[in-house]
Copies of this chain bind each other. A is one copy, B any other.
């Protein structure tokens, strides 16, 4: 059983934030979802202090071996999350990680404090791909901003703080080191790569928001390299993600230094991808190009 920041997990495969809505899935699939929950921990979609409707459609666009999304973080806001979603997520058979984002330290602090003492919450993921309203800098692009944010949040909770790194930087390891100095317990990477596409007919941007984030197998080689450089630079455990669709893919991330892996876009193709990836990690794929990783994470 892998252990991650003191949390025991049944296997090393969790979900990527924003790519699995356990509440909606339970409505669709019923309690079979709980009996056969695909992830060893559940990461919520990112919540923000106030409710957000998300971006205007079109929000998604298929690309070679991947997709671009500009969903825009629709969520019920902190109050709505606590009142409506948290009780339902607490029924899941696995530990809950709450993902939060804000545009300033006080707002981030409000989010962290609100879940800091909740028994239902096992850990907090900080989505730092956001601008600081005061400095204008994207927090996750600036090591000093990241460190300062962690220093501000660290005293507020005993729960593990996971920093979700942004991949759109020259040196993600520098940001990871700053997160470590600031008191983070773990990092997760990669978030989506800045991307766009044009509608072939109109030749206008395909997404209403103009651009979005690339995910799926296409980004896997970028994710593996960033993970490799980050894992080499810090002493903290890392959650690796970006295009994982099979046990063989997951084994590459573990080879690159991941303690856990997260499945995102692949869940859209296969709702049980998490369980499948976890199972495949133990088997040799029929493709020959396969993997039998020595999984000793605990």
Contact = CB atoms under 8 A, between A and B. Distances in A.
B224 A195 contact: yes
A199 to B, nearest CB: 9
A60 to B, nearest CB: 12
Integer count of this chain's copies in the complex: 2
30 contacts: A63-B220, A64-B66, A64-B216, A64-B217, A66-B221, A68-B221, A168-B170, A169-B169, A170-B170, A194-B222, A196-B225, A196-B256, A197-B220, A197-B221, A197-B224, A198-B224, A198-B251, A198-B252, A200-B252, A200-B291, A201-B289, A203-B252, A203-B293, A204-B255, A205-B228, A211-B225, A214-B221, A217-B218, A218-B218, A218-B221
A162 B228 CA distance: 32
Nearest to A294: B203
Chain A interface secondary structure, helix, strand, loop or mixed?
A: mixed
Interface residues of A, number: 45
Contacts of A220: 63-64, 197
A248 interface: yes
Interface of A: 63-66, 68, 138, 141, 168-170, 193-198, 200-201, 203-205, 210-211, 214, 216-222, 224-226, 228, 243, 248, 251-252, 255-256, 289-291, 293
A70 to B, nearest CB: 11
A256 B289 CA distance: 38
Counting from the closest, the 3 A-B pairs by CB-CB distance are: A195-B221, A64-B217, A218-B218
Contacts of A198: 224, 251-252, 255-256
